């Protein structure tokens, strides 16, 4: 059987650790585990150079080495007899491998420390089947993944996804259509869309699918987790199997540390699977501008293949344009004659109410932090908090229930930028956060650029420094 590097693509996903065997000039062998073996072309692979100084010294004297890569689908090991060619410390290959290392570092709080020193390129001289070890399992870690390796991005699936997206007439409907289409047409059941927040270097979640909590308002800093790393690097990242398990363990450790330090008090947790095995994140870019980040995850190892990454990256370009166009359309389609202040409608009750509304909601705005607590629990912060507070106080003092996007844009107290204020994204985020935490306080669209604040409860408003 003629085995090629291309046919061993599944061995280079980082699901099972590879091993590097070298020999010193005086004949002493050395073995080391590798965090990653990267396919370069049909006759070369690249090994991550991080810690194995002994191996590096051996290769300096004897450039020939042996690499063992296991196939996660079958459990079969393959021996690559290689010869060192060069080290790369910059360029596309180095950056791609470094990004995966940064993913690990971000989860364990070692970003900038736990890093790739070089991508060592080796020529592959021969490929052999590794002899089976006594008692070794006869199959890979999960054969179910193979069932999903069939064609996903078919013309029919993409047509169905496009139809769902084209029917959306608001940003709210669009982001839901994207995630629903990824689920129903392509089978990616757990997903999220994050957009840049007002604070530089921060992403905020505006839509999710497949999780018990919608996670609206959950924030991620650039460089944190897969979404933050994608935003920072503006490149797609795919993480599978064992590596993802390591990341999860580190993330749980960091999460516990943060909680003990009281850092979670005013943060909305990012939705996620309890035991994710595979993650894929792609930047949503329009002419170099970061419109958002799309993340997918699965509890199945090796769920996202190389072709998935390439296809989702291409699809992301289309989704980014669709999101940006919808934002611009909602802004430009606002009625030019929209009044700065809609007529007062004191005493008008909500058109519909929850069956059993809460008797009273205690809402506190913390001015210094620009955040709102609802019945003592964190609700929202930053611009969405200022918008909600503005609407609640206006309703309390004038009785108004209906508002326009235009008047919010003209309100200098909100400090919206003159261009690309992303107001629609903030209103969408606020609407979904209220749906999750307080369904008796609702922002209900009335027309394009116009909405109502409906209350199914009495509210008590107060301000604290």
Q: What is the pLDDT of residue 344?
A: 45
Measured CA to CA, the distance from residue 264 to residue 230 in angstroms comes to 23
257 vs 90, higher pLDDT: 90
Per the confidence metrics, is the pTM higher than 0.75? no
Q: What is the pLDDT of residue 355?
A: 52
pLDDT-derived band at 80 (thresholds 50, 70, 90) equals: very high
Of 34-48, 66-80, 126-140, 330-344, where does mean pLDDT reach its minimum? 330-344
Can you read off the two tokens belonging to residue 368?
């210094």
Residue 377: name the closest of 266, 255, 242 by CA: 266
Residue 83 has pLDDT above 70, yes or no: yes
Measured CA to CA, the distance from residue 164 to residue 158 in angstroms comes to 10
pLDDT-derived band at 340 (thresholds 50, 70, 90) equals: very low
Q: What is the pLDDT of residue 243?
A: 55
Q: What is the pLDDT of residue 345?
A: 46
Contact 282, 313 (CB under 8 A): yes
Instruction: Summarize pLDDT for 373-392 with one digit per residue, the tens.
Output: 999 999 999 999 999 999 99
Residue 133 has pLDDT above 80, yes or no: no
Q: What is the pLDDT of residue 350?
A: 43
Measured CA to CA, the distance from residue 275 to residue 244 in angstroms comes to 9
- Sorted by sequence, the CB contacts under 8 Å of residue 64 that are 6+ apart come out as 81, 82, 83, 84, 125
Q: What is the pLDDT of residue 386?
A: 94
Of 108-122, 248-262, 309-323, 399-413, where does mean pLDDT reach its minimum? 248-262
Q: What is the mean pLDDT of residues 117-137?
A: 82
Residue 433 has pLDDT above 70, yes or no: yes
Q: What is the pLDDT of residue 351?
A: 45
264 vs 215, higher pLDDT: 215
Q: Quick one: DSSP state of residue 115?
A: -
Residue 271: name the closest of 208, 229, 197 by CA: 208
The pair phi, psi for residue 40, each rounded to 5°, is: -105, -55
Q: What is the pLDDT of residue 349?
A: 45
458-464 and 360-366 beta bridge pairing: parallel
Query: Quick check: helix, strand or coil at residue 271?
Result: coil
Task: Provide the percentage of residues in the chain whose pLDDT is more than 70.
Answer: 80
- Residue with structure tokens 């080391």? 32
pLDDT-derived band at 134 (thresholds 50, 70, 90) equals: low
Measured CA to CA, the distance from residue 175 to residue 161 in angstroms comes to 12
Of 117-131, 254-268, 447-461, where does mean pLDDT reach its minimum? 254-268
The count of other CB atoms within 10 Å of the CB of residue 303 is 27
Measured CA to CA, the distance from residue 202 to residue 186 in angstroms comes to 29
Q: 125: buried, middle or exposed (CB in 10 Å: 19+, 13-18, 0-12)?
A: exposed
Residue 125 has pLDDT above 50, yes or no: yes
Calculate the CA 101 to chain-centre distance: 17
Measured CA to CA, the distance from residue 161 to residue 158 in angstroms comes to 5
Mean pLDDT of the chain: 81
Q: Where are the beta strands (DSSP E) in 150-276?
A: 190-196, 202-209, 219-221, 237-240
Q: What is the mean pLDDT of residues 2-26?
A: 83
């Amino acid at each position: 059987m003629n085995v090629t590097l291309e046919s061993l693509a599944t061995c280079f996903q980082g699901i099972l650790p590879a091993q590097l065997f070298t020999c010193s000039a005086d004949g002493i062998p050395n073995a080391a585990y590798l965090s990653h073996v990267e396919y370069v072309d049909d006759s070369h692979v690249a090994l991550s150079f991080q810690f194995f100084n002994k191996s590096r010294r051996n290769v300096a004297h004897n450039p020939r080495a042996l690499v063992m890569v296991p196939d996660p689908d079958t459990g079969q090991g393959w021996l690559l007899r290689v010869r060192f060619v060069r080290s790369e410390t910059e360029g596309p290959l180095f950056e791609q491998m470094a990004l995966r290392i940064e993913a690990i570092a971000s989860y364990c709080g070692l970003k900038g420390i736990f890093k790739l020193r070089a991508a060592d390129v080796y020529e592959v001289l021969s490929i052999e089947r590794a002899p089976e070890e006594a008692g070794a399992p006869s199959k890979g870690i999960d054969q179910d993944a193979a069932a999903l390796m069939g064609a996903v991005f078919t013309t029919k699936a993409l047509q169905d996804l496009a139809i769902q997206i084209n029917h959306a007439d608001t940003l709210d409907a669009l982001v839901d259509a994207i995630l629903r289409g990824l689920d129903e047409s392509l089978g990616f059941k757990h997903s999220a869309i994050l957009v840049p927040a007002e604070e530089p270097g921060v992403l905020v979640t505006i839509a999710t699918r497949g999780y018990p909590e919608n996670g609206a308002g959950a924030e991620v800093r650039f460089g944190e987790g897969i979404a933050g790393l994608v935003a920072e690097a503006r490149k797609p990242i795919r993480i599978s199997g064992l590596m993802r398990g390591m990341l999860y363990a580190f993330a749980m450790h960091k999460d516990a540390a943060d909680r003990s330090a009281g850092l979670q008090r005013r943060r909305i947790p990012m939705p996620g699977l309890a035991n994710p095995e595979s993650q894929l994140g792609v930047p949503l870019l329009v002419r170099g501008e970061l419109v958002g980040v799309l993340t997918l995850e699965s509890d199945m190892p090796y769920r996202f293949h190389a072709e998935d990454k390439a296809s989702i990256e291409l699809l992301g370009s289309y989704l980014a344009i669709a999101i940006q166009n919808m934002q611009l359309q909602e802004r430009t389609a606002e009625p030019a004659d929209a009044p700065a202040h809609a007529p007062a409608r004191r005493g008008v009750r909500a058109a519909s109410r929850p069956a059993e509304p809460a008797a009273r909601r205690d809402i506190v705005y913390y001015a210094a932090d620009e955040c709102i607590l609802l019945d003592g629990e964190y609700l929202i912060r930053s611009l969405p908090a200022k918008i909600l507070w503005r609407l609640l106080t206006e309703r309390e003092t004038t009785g108004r229930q209906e508002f326009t996007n235009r008047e919010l844009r003209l309100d200098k107290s909100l400090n919206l930028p003159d261009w690309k204020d992303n107001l629609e994204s903030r209103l969408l985020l606020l609407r979904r956060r209220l749906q999750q935490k307080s369904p008796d306080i609702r922002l209900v669209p009335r027309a394009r650029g116009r909405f109502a604040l409906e209350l199914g409860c009495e509210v008590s408003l107060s301000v604290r420094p």
